[in-house]
A and B are shown apart, each in its own frame.
Chain A
Amino acid sequence: MIGHILKLIWNKKGNNSLLIIEIFLSFLVLFAVLSYVIYNTDRLNLPTGFDTENRWLIYLDRNDKDMDSLANAQMRINLKNELLAMSNIESVGFSFSVSPYSNGTWSSSYDDLGFEIGSRFCKVDIDFEKTMNINVVKGRWFDETDINPTYEPMIVNEFFLNKYFPDVNMLDSIIPFGGDKKIIGVVDDYRYNGVFEEEQSTTFFFQPYTNKDAQIVYLKLSPGTPKSFEEDVSKTVESITKSTSFVIQDLQAMESRNSRQTWIPMIALLSISGFLCINVALGLFGVLWYNINNRRSEIGLRRALGASRPGIAAQFTGEVLVLTLLAIVIGVFFAIQVPLLKLIDIPQIIFYKSMAFSALIILVIVTICALYPSGQASRIQPAFALHED
């Protein structure tokens, strides 16, 4: 029967080519949109490497040039002590000017080992780990021993190790990375530019919070801390820094704003694809309905010659599915060039996944659209259909 259906399709290639082109183009659009969606959503379940709930950030005033370094350090000591003394603050950490969701990145690369090692980096203090709940999976976080070390300590994420030193235990190793650095710990990750961010090699360097570059203060608050507490924090910061040019941000709100930048285009693209699928479905439904009405005498004839009702339904559904499979095969031929030629530098498995999902979605839509008209075709009475001409 498949051979018979192929013959019918081939002999009506003129009529069928438009349907094939419509399904083929739909497949390509779905493939592109799903690749984008899968590329982003694949990372939703990955750990970002830090907590955002009950975390506030204070961006300190950078115009503190009037203060000498000693006064600056003392100001930061006072600020930390005063903040820790407040009832709702459990922990206080500091970092340099790059914070989560700021879309800022500092990075550097060196090739002293004969191959290029690139990493973005963050400078943080000792309490940054417990304030942000950083997950150290090997070795240790920075401590007092790192204030005057023989080798500058660095903590890297697992991605860094897997990329540059796979299958090697690098803990406590010295590597040339802008001078000799010692890897003292490994964290699972620190994807600080959003939940949709790709894993990247990331390094932490130690920077005491008394350093004037420690511009961002991280607060870990007790659960249930009211928003009004921000006013108390604000007064404390103002009284110690003698400045009103600072900003307090809720890290969770920053995360939401950051995610929206990806969610909005993703939802827009999915909506457009949804409308496209509905249009394709309606078009297919119309074409099938028209075909079946045009082929009533053929249906009557087939029933007279021995086709059963399910056989008629199966034939019409089969014809559409074969057409769809042809369109999908052509679509896959073009789509597969993207991963084969590595045209886009993202994990290539995403393209294979989206090809599979696109094919599945189209097959489901086509099957649903074909079932009702095919069922109607099978209910045509042969005695009437044969005498309609």
Chain B
Amino acid sequence: MISLDQVSKVYRTKTIETTALNNINLEVPKGEFLSIMGPSGCGKSTLLNIIGLLDEPSHGQVTIAGQQVQKYASKTTSRFRNEKLGFIFQSFHLIPDLRVIDNVELPLLYRNVSSKERRRLSEEALESVGLKNRMSHFPNQLSGGQKQRVAIARAIVGKPQIILADEPTGNLDSVMGNDVMDILLDLNKKGETTIVMVTHDENMARKTNRLVRLYDGSQIK
């Protein structure tokens, strides 16, 4: 499903060159739940951004669902992200001025989906994370765990093949973190959704199918 071939990322300024990723080779088959671990600044988020087409590699090939995505034009990249990928972030990134239901239907706004259908799919997604009764609330009326569940609903509403989660339990206590992890595991099992998760939490990482460790931008064998 996801294939990274000798992927490197170098950030350059006038005076300094920083290697964020160095020759990463990674294969993630369909339906796998992969976790990526490593100390801060090791390149975990950069790797996730490259898989999520939010950033471009300096070298190497990225293939997702059999397509070499680096060659896409900006508009095609946007469409690909919208249709194939779902994102979950540590800080939730819910829009504070929109109600829960409107936050969830955001990915569908960028598709040709009628408002009625958007509503139906969003309610369905909220139900699957157990938050249908909170759909008229604003994000500031929710707890951290509820916010992350809304973010998960937003990530799955468009039925993507891949979910990229950047420290989804990082801002949550252990109980809420386990709740969120259970939802992700359920999604992976029942929906056969491929999940790549960046985490600092060894316990969460152990629950996934495979763990990849990074150190100073390189993969530890």
Contact = CB atoms under 8 A, between A and B. Distances in A.
B156 to A, nearest CB: 12
Given A3-B115, A7-B98, A386-B89, A309 B74 contact: yes
B82 interface: yes
B219 to A, nearest CB: 20
Contacts of A305: 81-82, 87, 106-107, 110, 154
Contact of A8 (B54, B81, B93, B98): B98
B109 A386 contact: no
B109 A1 contact: yes
Nearest to B91: A389
Nearest to B86: A305
A109 interface: no
A65 interface: no
Given A306-B79, A309-B74, A383-B54, A11 B107 contact: no
A304 B89 CA distance: 11
Given A11-B98, A305-B87, A307-B78, A386 B115 contact: no
Interface stretch (A72-80, A157-165, A251-259, A294-302): A294-302
A308 B52 CA distance: 15
A387 interface: yes
B182 interface: no
B87 A4 contact: no
B97 A306 contact: no
Interface in A359-389: 381-383, 386-387, 389
A307 B93 contact: no
Given A3-B115, A305-B110, A306-B82, A382 B54 contact: yes
Contacts of A298: 93, 95
Contact of A307 (B95, B98, B110): B110
B102 A303 contact: no
B111 interface: yes
A311 interface: yes
Contacts of A303: 54, 78
Interface string B75-95: 100110111000101010101
A12 interface: yes
B207 to A, nearest CB: 25
A292 B80 CA distance: 25
B95 A7 contact: no
A85 B173 CA distance: 111
A8 B110 contact: no
Contacts of B79: 306, 308
A307 B106 CA distance: 10
B45 interface: yes
Range class of the A interface residue count: 20 to 34
B46 to A, nearest CB: 8
Contacts of A389: 91, 93
Contacts of A7: 98, 102
B55 interface: yes
A83 to B, nearest CB: 82
Interface centre among A298, A305, A386 (most CB of B within 10 A): A305
Contacts of A301: 87, 89, 93, 95, 106
Given A4-B102, A8-B97, A383-B55, A304 B87 contact: yes
A383 B55 CA distance: 6
A4 B95 CA distance: 12
Contacts of A383: 49, 54-55
A297 B96 CA distance: 11
Interface in A1-18: 1, 3-4, 7-8, 11-12
A387 B78 contact: no
B52 A304 contact: yes
Contacts of B55: 381, 383
B31 to A, nearest CB: 23
B88 to A, nearest CB: 11
Nearest to A304: B87
A308 B75 contact: yes
Given A383-B54, A383-B55, A386-B89, A302 B106 contact: yes
A387 to B, nearest CB: 7
A323 to B, nearest CB: 14
A301 B88 CA distance: 10
Contact of B81 (A11, A306, A311, A387): A306
Nearest to B155: A305
B75 to A, nearest CB: 5
Contacts of A304: 52, 54, 81, 87
20 contacts: A11-B138, A303-B54, A305-B82, A305-B87, A306-B79, A306-B111, A307-B78, A307-B110, A308-B75, A308-B110, A309-B78, A311-B78, A381-B55, A382-B54, A383-B54, A383-B55, A386-B54, A386-B89, A389-B91, A389-B93
Interface of A: 1, 3-4, 7-8, 11-12, 297-298, 300-309, 311, 381-383, 386-387, 389
Interface of B: 45, 49, 52, 54-55, 74-75, 78-79, 81-83, 87, 89, 91, 93, 95, 97-99, 102, 106-107, 109-111, 115, 138, 154
Given A301-B89, A305-B107, A308-B110, 10 more contacts: A1-B109, A7-B98, A297-B93, A298-B95, A301-B93, A304-B87, A305-B87, A306-B110, A383-B54, A386-B89
